[in-house]
Amino acid sequence: MSPGHPSKGDISLPRSHEKKDESIPKRIVSLKPGAEWSDVRAEAAAMLDISPASLLTPQAEGIYQWLTKKPNIGKSWSSQDLSKRFKPDPSKELFWRLRLLRDHRMTIQGEGYWNFRVFVSESPAPELALSPLNPVFPQITKKFAKTDLERLRDFFENLILDHEAEQSILLIARIEERCEVLSCFPQSAEGVLESWHYYRALSAMPRIKGTSLFYHFGHDLGPWYLGFSLASELTWKQVKQSIKLRRLEKSPSEKYGLTKNASDLLSWLLGKDYEKFDLHLSPDVEDNLKLGIGVDVEKIGKKNLRQLFDLLCQEITEKTEFEARAVPWAERFYDPTIHIFFRKKLGLEEEALRAVQSFLWERGIERKKDRIRDVLSRLAED
């Protein structure tokens, strides 16, 4: 190994006398498989015959001991509170050093650039008290597309199907040590998404019906965690059944004979809990082109998006039991963007009720639908 160019996985210590005497052995600390950085620091200190340096300062350790005293458990402390009690004033750097203690009872939140708030609970948060599965995550490219997100969703669905959860939370991963990072996110070729970047993909991943996804993947020292919690009044058995039914369902292209783009749009709309759309309007289509619907904007062209969705909505309306229409809609000070007016078509009975009700209104007569329905039912019997 040439001086100044350590091989991957090795750390070269400074060799101040190397130029004077080449006979002095080169001191190299190897980062062995499964080793942590603390092991490397201890080995380096032993080679240099010095005490290993701790990343925790005496001030940080002192504040931690005070925070975890019984009278202080369950209370929240701002950095200003700590500054009044401890001198010199705790800096933002302390924010990171307290995390090194790996106490799952402790929550540290930044408040602006300089300040933070610390809270120590009596017990860890539920997601940090469970045993994680810590699986090997699938590789996803940095420029991930809709198919990558669907593959990631299928990966989590398989984990849910394969494991019997006894709690309302299924903890998929809790990652705190270097060896856990390497185990869950193996080293791979350039261009593959790095472990802490997964939160970008998770935020855009299709939801798993009946569950809520929670996760924390950040730059900080952790712990990183990811899991699923049950929606209220549901069981894991029901969630598993929902997953199996989704996988058995025919795609809209098979069921209705839609083109691929129309099928992808309908799938996206159906997956958005369309019955709760405000004014029957979908979320902004243009924000979901690539990862939600799977439209290649470069191929279609931005100027053709409105025309494209007009055609797709017309196809959906003609071939399915749903009514769809592209609507430009402006929010606040922004220019109008494309939303989809989407709902189930009215049945013949509902159309008849509305027609009779409208007919009576024009003549100044107001009748509730239930009464009109009773009259129509009697007519049908006669």
Name the residue with higher pLDDT: 165 or 88. 165
pLDDT-derived band at 5, boundaries 50, 70, 90: very low
The whole-number pLDDT of residue 151 equals 93
Nearest CA to 82 among 122, 120, 121, 117? 117
**Cα–Cα dist 355/368, whole Å:** 13
Nearest CA to 286 among 317, 308, 263? 308
The whole-number pLDDT of residue 281 equals 93
Give me the mean pLDDT over the 80-99 stretch.
74
Q: How many CB atoms lie within 10 A of CB 7?
A: 10
The whole-number pLDDT of residue 30 equals 67
**pLDDT tens for residues 321-369?**
999 999 999 887 778 999 999 998 876 677 677 777 777 777 777 777 7
**Cα–Cα dist 13/32, whole Å:** 16
Q: What is the pTM of this model?
A: 0.69
Give me the mean pLDDT over the 243-264 stretch.
92
Which CB contacts under 8 angstroms, 24+ apart, belong to 297-300?
none
* Residues forming a β-bridge with 116: 110
Asked if residue 259 lies in contact with residue 319, where contact means CB atoms within 8 angstroms, the answer is no
Work out the mean pLDDT of the chain and round it to a whole number.
Answer: 82
Identify the weakest region by mean pLDDT among 71-85, 181-195, 245-259: 181-195
User: Does the domain made of 250-344 have the CATH classification 1.10.10?
Assistant: yes
The whole-number pLDDT of residue 371 equals 79
Identify the weakest region by mean pLDDT among 20-24, 170-174, 278-282: 20-24
Asked if residue 148 lies in contact with residue 292, where contact means CB atoms within 8 angstroms, the answer is no
The whole-number pLDDT of residue 24 equals 54
pLDDT score of 82 more than 80: yes
pLDDT score of 123 more than 80: yes
pLDDT score of 267 more than 70: yes
> How large a percentage of the chain has pLDDT more than 70?
85
The whole-number pLDDT of residue 9 equals 43
Asked if residue 142 lies in contact with residue 193, where contact means CB atoms within 8 angstroms, the answer is yes
Identify the weakest region by mean pLDDT among 49-53, 182-186, 242-246: 49-53
For residue 33, what are the contacts with CB-CB under 8 A and spacing of at least 6?
Answer: none
The identity of residue 96, as a single letter, is W
The whole-number pLDDT of residue 308 equals 94
What residue ranges do the domains of the chain occupy? 10-48, 58-124, 130-247, 250-344, 348-381
